[in-house]
Amino acid sequence: MRRIGPIFVSIALALLGFSSKGIAQTIKIGAVVPLTGRYAAGGAQNKAGYEIAVQQVNSAGGVSVGGKNMRLELVMLDDESDPTKTVARLETLATQGVVAYLGGFGSDLHAAAASIADKNKIPYLGVAFAFHGIHKQGLRYLFSPFPKSPDLTKETFVFLDASIPAAQRPTKVALVLERTDWGKEMGSLWESQAKQRGYQVVASGEYAPGAKDFSDLILKAKSAGAEAVFALPSPPDGMTIVRQMKELDFNPKFSLIIRAPDPPVWSQNLGKDGDYVVLSPGWHFAARYPKVGELNEAHQKLFNRPADPIVGPSYACVQILADAIARARALDRDKIRDAIAATNMTTVVGPVRFRPDGTGEVKVFFQQWLKGKQELVWPKEFATAPFAYPAPPFSQR
């Protein structure tokens, strides 16, 4: 009986990634990702980015911690796209001794996760959410190398001003806004930026997510002479909006639709009607930064295509974490947290630094659907196709 205690201690230490002599064998990091449920398509991209990055870090010798090379051990759990399960899975990982968390997909999941990370004092890296409001809660352990609403709205007008001669710009703008916290945030910022840059918001309206009839908003925009439309719908809502724009013969010169056009289903369902829409999913595989080639090659072998948009930012999270652990020189969560906060490096998504609120100073990418493909049109130095403007009427596509 006297041997049972030590045996159990050894087993527990092994489960936590430590030998019986107290020497860490691996660096355990935890990821909670929606592998099933409504966000499963996005979660699959998180998963691919995390797993490819961990494999490549380990193949290159792992992470040097205080002079000793150690392997990353990724423990990934499925939250089924349910915020309550996100919380439960993160608590499970905390008991398993993870030194950091990697997040999933969608603002509501990240909002639930970030507060738990702060409660447990475990650094949290998350992408695939633009909602800035999460970062206004004073959370010290939340970091996101991903464009937020202020970045997206400001870069909208930087892109337009740099891409279109002044005399041809679509200065009359219509906002079609989802009635959510993120919709309110983006709408307010777009209005503010438009005013500062000489654009006029001539129509603005809200709708409930899942709405089936957008004709009132579309007709108001059309009658106001809107030349551009800015919106941020879910994929089903976005596809319905475009179909009804065509039915009501509303042909803006420029359409920026955040989120809805990100997945391939956009072009599959809309065909030519889905072309010319501009989107900002967070990254593009044509970005010429270090390690992008290796990432694309690995993704091509696994999925027979270059890396998807959220794969890049997810991969970057592992790059940032590995770099921070090496600089922390210890598997101490607070030291790792402080090292992440001091990040100043180039990742597959470009240069990354963090502001005091945990938001990342990162590049904003704009893509455009052209001939059924997502082409990178901004930044210009990485463009895979010229920005197509103005969009032709639906009847001429």
Half-sphere exposure in the Cβ direction for 15 (13 Å, CA): 11
CA angle 77, 112, 156 (to 5 degrees): 105
Question: Using one digit for the tens of pLDDT, what is the confidence trace for 76-87?
Answer: 999 999 999 999
- Which band of pLDDT confidence, cut at 50, 70 and 90, is reported for residue 222? very high
Average pLDDT over all residues of the chain: 93
C-beta separation of 130 from 148 below 8 A: yes
Give 147 or 2, the one with higher predicted confidence. Answer: 147
What DSSP letter does each residue of 309-370 carry, written as one string? TTHHHHHHHHHHHHHHHHHHTS--HHHHHHHHHT-EEEETTEEEEE-TTSBEE----EEEEE
pTM: 0.90
C-beta separation of 147 from 362 below 8 A: yes
- Which band of pLDDT confidence, cut at 50, 70 and 90, is reported for residue 25? confident
Please report the domains of the chain, with CATH numbers, ordered by start residue.
Answer: 4-147+286-361 (3.40.50.2300), 149-279+366-396 (3.40.50.2300)
Question: Using one digit for the tens of pLDDT, what is the confidence trace for 142-199?
Answer: 999 999 999 999 999 999 999 999 999 999 999 999 999 999 999 999 999 999 999 9
Report whether pLDDT(11) > 90: no
- Which band of pLDDT confidence, cut at 50, 70 and 90, is reported for residue 264? confident
